[in-house]
Amino acid sequence: MADERETGLVLDPKYDASGLVTAVATHADSGEVLMVAHMNADALAATLATGEATFWSRSRARLWKKGETSGHVLKVRELRVDCDQDAIWMRVDPMGPACHTGEPSCFYRVVRDGRLERV
Amino acid sequence: MADERETGLVLDPKYDASGLVTAVATHADSGEVLMVAHMNADALAATLATGEATFWSRSRARLWKKGETSGHVLKVRELRVDCDQDAIWMRVDPMGPACHTGEPSCFYRVVRDGRLERV
């Protein structure tokens, strides 16, 4: 039912073989991409229920609310799905740095002439 | 070498078991997320060489320059990597609708009260 998934108004995520969709968080004001991670059905449900971005940690194999220890949660202002419903876009208000390195965004390096430069 | 990958200035993408990284394209001016897809090493190299976003099509199992038939290419203004180098963020100037449905962005539906609404 690809057509219904693309044109319909039913939330019906297309999880991959591991039960995951890709989730992108951008700063609701600046539009900066803060982080990219994954959600399973439970993570998406928790995100929608709490309004705070929750992911599936593949390395730890458990639900992971962003900021659960640091307090740097991502408050979800808006959540969208893409055409084939295998990706989520959240516009968020971050309560602190989104990256575990302390950077505001995980995308703190740009590629120029094949090398990385800090932005 | 997680530390070097996170803090260093060498482009060293961490491809998954399928040889892919996630690639997010946002509108360089508005910050709107246009699409999420995947790149292998050849797609990333082609993107960097041509300045036009090129992906790996998992469904067709081949390199796929966005807009190769429609002309709706994504001109890459800036390309970033995230902390662990398993995701790419491109700020692009789209030469037409990014979505194959004709919508400017693939993310044309928002989740509200468990249902989808067109934005």
How many CB atoms lie under 10 A from the CB of residue B64? 20
8 Å CB contact between A79 and B114? no
Tell whether A4 is covered by a domain: no
Per the structure, how many domains does chain B have? 1
Beta-carbon pairs below 8 A across chains A and B? 113
Token representation of residue B101:
């449905």
A106 annotated among ligand-binding-site residues: yes
Residues 6+ apart with CB under 8 A from B23: B36, B37, B38, B39, B43, B53, B55, B87, B88, B89, B90
Tell me whether residue A27 is in a domain: yes
Q: How confident is the model at residue B2 (pLDDT cuts 50, 70, 90)?
A: low
| Rg over CA atoms, chain A | 15
Residue A6 banded pLDDT, cuts 50, 70, 90: very high
Task: State which amino acid sits at residue A51.
Answer: G
- The C-alpha of B78 sits at a distance from chain A's nearest C-alpha, in angstroms, of 7
What's the pLDDT score for residue A2? 59
Q: Is residue B64 part of a domain?
A: yes
The answer to whether A11 contacts B111, with C-beta atoms less than 8 Å apart, is yes
pTM: 0.96
pLDDT tens digits for range B11-25: 999 999 999 999 999
- The CATH number covering residue B103 comes to 3.10.20.810
User: What's residue A109's pLDDT?
Assistant: 98
Residues of A in contact with B109 (CB under 8 A): 9, 80-81
> Is A12 labeled as ligand-binding?
no
Q: What are phi and psi of A109, to 5 degrees?
A: -130, 135
pLDDT of residue A102: 95
Instruction: Using a CB–CB cutoff of 8 Å, tell me whether B31 touches chain A.
Output: yes
- CB-based contact (8 Å) between A63 and chain B? no
**Residue B84 in contact with residue B6, Cβ under 8 Å?**
yes
Torsions phi, psi for B80 (to 5 deg): -120, 160
Q: Does B2 fall in a domain?
A: no
Put simply, the chain B residues between 69 and 98 with a CB less than 8 A from any chain A CB are: 78-84, 87, 89
Quick check: is B1 in a domain?
A: no
pLDDT, one tens digit per residue, over B58-77 is 999 999 999 999 999 999 99
Is residue A11 included in any domain, yes or no? no
Q: Output the CA torsion sign for B54, B68, A21, A69.
A: positive
Output the average pLDDT for chain A. 96
Q: Do A116 and B11 touch (CB under 8 A)?
A: yes
Write out the residue range of the structural domain in which residue A52 sits: 18-118
In B, minimum Cα distance to A5 occurs at B116
Does residue A80 belong to any structural domain of this protein?
yes
Question: Could you tell me the CA-to-CA distances from B14 to B1, B22, B26, B71, B88 in Å, in that order?
Answer: 11, 10, 21, 30, 11
Place A72 in a pLDDT band, splitting at 50, 70 and 90: very high
The verdict on residue A10 lying in a domain is: no
**pLDDT surpassing 80 at residue A9:** yes
**ipTM of the prediction:** 0.95
Instruction: Calculate mean pLDDT across residues A85-104.
Output: 97
pLDDT (tens digit, 9 = 90+) per residue, A42-58?
999 999 999 999 999 99
Is the pLDDT assigned to residue A97 strictly greater than 90?
Answer: yes
Query: Given pLDDT bands bounded at 50, 70 and 90, which one contains residue A3?
Result: confident
